[in-house]
Chain A
């Protein structure tokens, strides 16, 4: 099955911008139908090519394609803002973010040249890496975080289908924007938590 990787990349960016738009307080104040209509209009505007390039395409040039884990979190956030119900518990989501912070802290320095070992190379279909990842996903689904397990599973499935241009599994698992978000979210959580204890 041949997937148009540009379409899937642009869809991811459009989803991300829509999810961020849905979190704007003034947008959240609208009734559900108006909110959905506004987001639908946003999707159309983002997808219209202006001078040969859509707004999503412009953003994609800067951000690159977003990992499946990022898309999963954004989708959960979007569904929550539209439905008013969280599909995953906060603790579940936070556990996943911790895993992202730890993975990113180890992965990025090594992948960007610190030392001779390049973990990014494992993403080109290394069997041991896949086996290790399967172990993490299995453990996470029962003992740690179903959101983490789901994000790994969806990333592996998307990589198998060639969802993006990348042939490297890491690009489906993780991206720098997710790492930055996870780090800030967790630091903020710790900071606020400390404040509560002090009070």
Chain B
């Protein structure tokens, strides 16, 4: 009897402490904080004086019409490491307007030498800095005081206090389904990082939480982190992190079996948001999935089929200040050999292709020999980065050779443009990064003038 009484006393004491903690900790707040975009007047590129053409023909080509604002559209390679596999990039705008990118790089995906690398794009100098290692398997393992076998997807977000938070995947046993999340913070724009810290997000040995989508902020400054579960079943989730980076809530966005992976949250206003997800199910046609909230993320609606195809591949999207949405995705039902910029002007119900960023489906079924294939690779490399176009042949050959390892991996000539990440900077410029054949991270940036021109073209095309 005494033991029972003592136990009950301990129960009361423990629950007193527990209830005190519940009472003290604020409940997760809902309602979204909108990013501030202030497009600045950027110098516009105006088309050169048109070249006269022969009589009888149209006097000007469309993009040569006088006084048409062409805008700025540039591409570069963000990563610079050669003979490595590189994948899963993410971007964040720094306070001075530069763009910092993150990706993982190593001898192959899942290898123990994979590191999380970072570099900075300086628009004024129009170039990416050399990449630096911000986390390795060894540094992560030492800091976390537990065995880590490999690193994966890094995603970066800016917390309400202005610091950067870098989330990346670590695996101790098995494949990516055994992933856990690790977080680091930086208060100097990514120059230095705090000791890595493990986030506990799953009750089953804390496995199977992965990250890909852009973090967002709730109205109270807490952070929403779109994540997904892969073990046994696949489904999208949102983690809710407080000001200190502690997990304070987790929401399941979809049931198992609905094939929703890698959610991307598009915040429309304080209460409304749309989630787009990669589709990993077996239904045909293979369409991306979407779901939405109208109460600031407190409740999410049912999973619906989106209007565009998805070849079981990651996508990225953002909301423009006028409410229209831009997405970057593989606009095809299978394969990842093209990449498109998509636009929705009706809150995500309908999407149309605005621009093809990459297109290599044309060579898919062609039996190209190595020489033909590598000539294409060389052309793509030079078109992707002006620096490479001016590079001595010997150095360019190194780039071609790096790409060859993946493009000709199966003896054919296969291309992959995947894992896009799209952000809009405060000045209105848009930045896209994506995996270029698993060997480089490619960065495309364009300004609102270029976008408006394409929007106009799209509208005119619709009229025709």
B→A interface (CB under 8 Å):
3-4, 7-8, 10-11, 13-15, 17-22, 25, 28, 138, 141-142, 144-149, 172-173, 197-200, 202-207, 229, 231-235, 246-252, 255-257
Contact B7 A141 (CB under 8 A): yes
Q: Return the chain A residue nearest B149 by Cβ.
A: A61
Interface string of A134-152 (1 = CB under 8 A from B): 1001100110001001101
Q: A6-B145, A157-B18 known; 5 other A-B pairs, CB under 8 Å?
A: A52-B142, A124-B249, A142-B8, A154-B14, A157-B17
Contact A125 B15 (CB under 8 A): no
10 A-B residue pairings within 8 Å (CB atoms): A53-B145, A60-B146, A107-B203, A120-B250, A121-B251, A130-B19, A134-B15, A146-B4, A165-B200, A175-B203
A154 to chain B, nearest CB (A): 7
Interface string of A174-199 (1 = CB under 8 A from B): 11100000000000000000000000
A118 to B238, CA, bound (A): 12
B395 to chain A, nearest CB (A): 37
When A and B form their complex, which 10 residue pairs have the shortest distance between CB atoms, in order from nearest? A61-B147, A113-B256, A166-B200, A61-B146, A160-B17, A153-B14, A113-B233, A61-B172, A157-B14, A156-B18
Contact B18 A167 (CB under 8 A): no
Partner of B142, one of A53, A120, A152, A166: A53
Q: Return the chain B residue nearest A179 by Cβ.
A: B204
Question: Range of interface residues on chain A?
Answer: 35 or more
Per the 8 Å Cβ criterion, residues 1-18 of A in contact with B are 6, 9-10
A162 to chain B, nearest CB (A): 9
* Residues on the B chain within 8 Å of A166, using CB: 200, 206
B23 to chain A, nearest CB (A): 9
A30 within 8 A of B: no
A111 within 8 A of B: yes
Per the 8 Å Cβ criterion, residues 36-67 of A in contact with B are 52-54, 57-65
Interface string of A103-142 (1 = CB under 8 A from B): 0000110011111101011011111001001100110011
Partner of B247, one of A111, A113, A167: A167
A95 within 8 A of B: no
A→B interface (CB under 8 Å):
6, 9-10, 52-54, 57-65, 107-108, 111-116, 118, 120-121, 123-127, 130, 133-134, 137-138, 141-142, 146, 149-150, 152-154, 156-157, 159-161, 164-171, 174-176
* Residues on the B chain within 8 Å of A120, using CB: 202-203, 250
* Residues on the B chain within 8 Å of A114, using CB: 233, 256
Contact A124 B15 (CB under 8 A): no
* Residues on the B chain within 8 Å of A115, using CB: 255-256
* Residues on the A chain within 8 Å of B18, using CB: 130, 156-157, 159-160, 169
Partner of A112, one of B145, B149, B199, B204: B204
Contact A62 B147 (CB under 8 A): yes
A59 to chain B, nearest CB (A): 8
A104 to chain B, nearest CB (A): 10
* Residues on the A chain within 8 Å of B231, using CB: 112
Contact A141 B8 (CB under 8 A): yes
Partner of A62, one of B13, B25, B173, B202: B173
Partner of B252, one of A57, A59, A118, A125: A118
Contact B7 A167 (CB under 8 A): no
* Residues on the A chain within 8 Å of B173, using CB: 61-62
Contact A176 B138 (CB under 8 A): no
Q: Return the chain B residue nearest A108 by Cβ.
A: B204
Contact B203 A170 (CB under 8 A): yes
With A63-B205, A138-B8, A160-B20 already in contact, the answer to whether A57 and B147 are too (CB < 8 A) is yes
With A137-B11, A160-B18 already in contact, the answer to whether A52 and B252 are too (CB < 8 A) is no
* Residues on the A chain within 8 Å of B144, using CB: 6, 61
A168 to B249, CA, bound (A): 9
* Residues on the A chain within 8 Å of B229, using CB: 112-113
Contact A112 B232 (CB under 8 A): yes
A53 to B370, CA, bound (A): 46
A112 to B237, CA, bound (A): 12
A34 to chain B, nearest CB (A): 31
A9 to B198, CA, bound (A): 12
A82 to B365, CA, bound (A): 71
* Residues on the A chain within 8 Å of B145, using CB: 6, 9-10, 53-54, 57, 60
A137 to B11, CA, bound (A): 7
A167 to B198, CA, bound (A): 11
A102 to chain B, nearest CB (A): 16
A176 to B203, CA, bound (A): 8
A112 to B208, CA, bound (A): 9
Contact A150 B146 (CB under 8 A): no
A174 to B233, CA, bound (A): 21
Q: Return the chain A residue nearest B231 by Cβ.
A: A112
A178 to B392, CA, bound (A): 62
